[in-house]
Amino acid sequence: MLFKNDQAARAQHNAVRTNIGWYKWTHDLVEVKGKDAAGFLDYLYVNAIAKAGIGRSKYTTMLNDAGQIIDDVIVTHIGEDYYWISTLYAPQLIAWMDQKKDGRDVTYQDITSEVDMYAVQGPNSRALINSLAAAPVDGMKRFMMIDSVIDGIAVKVHKSGFTGEEGYEIYCAMSDSGSIRNAIVNAGKALNAVELTILEVYVRSLPVEKGFALRQDLYGLSPYEADLDWSVDLSKNFAGKEAVLRVKEEGSQYKLVGIEYEAESYEDIAQRERVYYQGVDVGFVRAAIYGYTADKNIGFAVVESSKVPIGSKVTVGENRSPAKIVNRIWV
């Protein structure tokens, strides 16, 4: 949990918002290759993967046959018939791919143990990367990946991140991880870059303020219930399309919304804590964390949106902790 008076967490959080914060953060990585790689990924995911050029990435969700989100990932087009999928759950993804492969000319494997990644985030992160990497990153667009070199070591630099600030992800071979870390530490000194060590700061506090959800927040919802309509390419076929179209047409009871907890802290609120409106159960919590820029206890909830529109006063949990339904972005 994070609390208002946690000065260490606040300092790390603020470093990302105002300057530079960096941390080692390897998602799982699955490498996909083959003639049918683009088509396969286009089928697995709702977004237009096949339209991403080499060196470009797309954020997308993956649905089960009932049209429910079972993963959210970044897919990067690395080279000809060659993609990376950045997910938190490679074993589950591979099992799903096995089910859906259907004879396509494609291979895939979990390369998480071979590749490490450092996230460098914050308004001054560009300066740090430029001081580190051979190839300047000034012209990079978000979700663009380039090859570069740091201290003679081949790396990939991806303009992306989970903090909502300008940021970059440095991918390197696992064997070079120590050297890359040292390079970041040394280059970061001049810019007062801070290493983030508190998991909940970079996994929850920073992203939640910007409305960034984890898979576990989205799990079981349709993209339309999670405000991810923009990511769904209905011009192509994809797994779960038929079911999700029904949700789009018929509408849905539930929505992933923002929630602000008004008590001083949220010790009595766990994931899946019930949300009540006028004493009646209307949904459940998905996240609760302290946001040091918003300076509030904030989070996400899945609620019956017709009963509790934005602005509704609700209570949470057995202690009936007061809260408010809000838009899913604070900063």
Handedness of CA 32, 44, 64, 164 (dihedral sign): positive
Tokens 């300057």, located at residue: 19
What CA–CA distance (Å, rounded) separates 300 from 264? 17
Most distant pair of Cα atoms in the chain: their distance:
63
Of the candidates 54, 199, 234, 310, which one interacts with other proteins according to CB under 8 A? Answer: 199
Q: Find the part of the chain contacting other proteins (CB under 8 A) among 73-81, 126-134, 162-170, 269-277.
A: 269-277
Residue 80 lies near other proteins (rule: CB under 8 A) = no
Q: Find the part of the chain contacting other proteins (CB under 8 A) among 14-22, 177-185, 235-243, 313-321.
A: 313-321
CB 260 within 8 A of CB 326: yes
Q: Find the part of the chain contacting other proteins (CB under 8 A) among 108-116, 126-134, 290-298, 305-313.
A: 108-116
Closest to other proteins by CB, 1 or 153 = 1
Closest to other proteins by CB, 174 or 234 = 174
The 3-state secondary structure of 237-277 reads CCCCHHHHHHHHHHCCCEEEEEEEECCCCCCCCCCCCEEEE
Q: Find the part of the chain contacting other proteins (CB under 8 A) among 151-159, 162-170, 302-310, 311-319.
A: 311-319
Please give the sequence-ordered ranges of beta strands (E in DSSP) within the chain, or none if there are none.
21-24, 28-33, 57-63, 69-79, 82-87, 107-110, 115-121, 145-150, 153-159, 167-173, 194-195, 254-261, 274-277, 280-291, 296-304, 313-316, 321-326
Residue 296 lies near other proteins (rule: CB under 8 A) = no
Q: Find the part of the chain contacting other proteins (CB under 8 A) among 20-28, 142-150, 152-160, 223-231.
A: 20-28
Q: What is the CA radius of gyration of the chain?
A: 21
Residue 197 lies near other proteins (rule: CB under 8 A) = yes
CB 194 within 8 A of CB 139: no
What CA–CA distance (Å, rounded) separates 306 from 4? 32
Instruction: Give the SS3 label for residue 324.
Output: strand
Closest distance to other proteins from the beta carbon of 24 (Å): 9
Q: Find the part of the chain contacting other proteins (CB under 8 A) among 38-46, 121-129, 139-147, 315-323.
A: 315-323
216 to 255, contacts with other proteins by CB under 8 A? 216-217, 219
Closest to other proteins by CB, 41 or 198 = 198
Closest distance to other proteins from the beta carbon of 272 (Å): 4
Residue 214 lies near other proteins (rule: CB under 8 A) = yes
156: Cβ contacts below 8 Å, ≥ 6 apart: 145, 146, 147, 148, 170, 171, 172
Of the candidates 114, 185, 318, 327, which one interacts with other proteins according to CB under 8 A? Answer: 318
Tokens 């919590």, located at residue: 285
Residue 315 lies near other proteins (rule: CB under 8 A) = no
Closest to other proteins by CB, 46 or 90 = 90
Residue 33 lies near other proteins (rule: CB under 8 A) = no
Residue 198 lies near other proteins (rule: CB under 8 A) = yes
Residue 82 lies near other proteins (rule: CB under 8 A) = no
Residues that bind other proteins (CB under 8 A): 1, 3, 25-28, 88-92, 110, 112-113, 197-200, 214-217, 219, 263, 265, 267-268, 270-274, 284, 317-319, 321
